[in-house]
Amino acid sequence: MPHTATEQIEDGGSASKPQSIIKLGKAPDDSDYKGANRRLKDIEICVPIVYGTIAFYLGRKASESQSHKWTVYVRGAANEDLGAVIKHVVFQLHPSFNSPIRIVESPPFELSECGWGEFEIAISLFFHSDVCDKQLDLYHHLKLYPEDESGPQSTKKPVVMESYNEIVFPDPSECFFARVQNHPAVLVPQLPAGFSLPVPVENMNENGKGDTKDHPLSQWFINFSGADELLKIAAAREQVQAHIVKLRRQLSVIDGMPQPLKPASSYECK
* pLDDT one-digit tens code per residue, 139-171: 999 999 988 766 778 888 999 999 999 999 999
Pairing of strands 68-76, 44-57: antiparallel
More confident: 28 or 232: 232
Of 131, 143, 135, 139, nearest in space to 51 by CA: 139
pLDDT of residue 34: 55
List Cα–Cα distances, 200 to 59, 76, 86, 150, 176, in angstroms: 50, 21, 17, 55, 8
Kindly report the pTM of this predicted structure.
0.73
Of 184, 188, 190, nearest in space to 83 by CA: 184
Q: Give the C-alpha separation, 135 to 115, whole Å.
A: 28
Question: Which uninterrupted H or E stretch holds 179?
Answer: helix 174-180
Q: Give the residue-averaged pLDDT of 183-206.
A: 67
SS3 state at 197: coil
pLDDT band at 260 (very low <50, low <70, confident <90, very high): low
Of 102, 51, 48, 96, nearest in space to 72 by CA: 51
Above 50 in pLDDT, residue 250? yes
Q: Give the C-alpha separation, 184 to 235, whole Å.
A: 12
Q: Give the residue-averaged pLDDT of 48-62.
A: 94
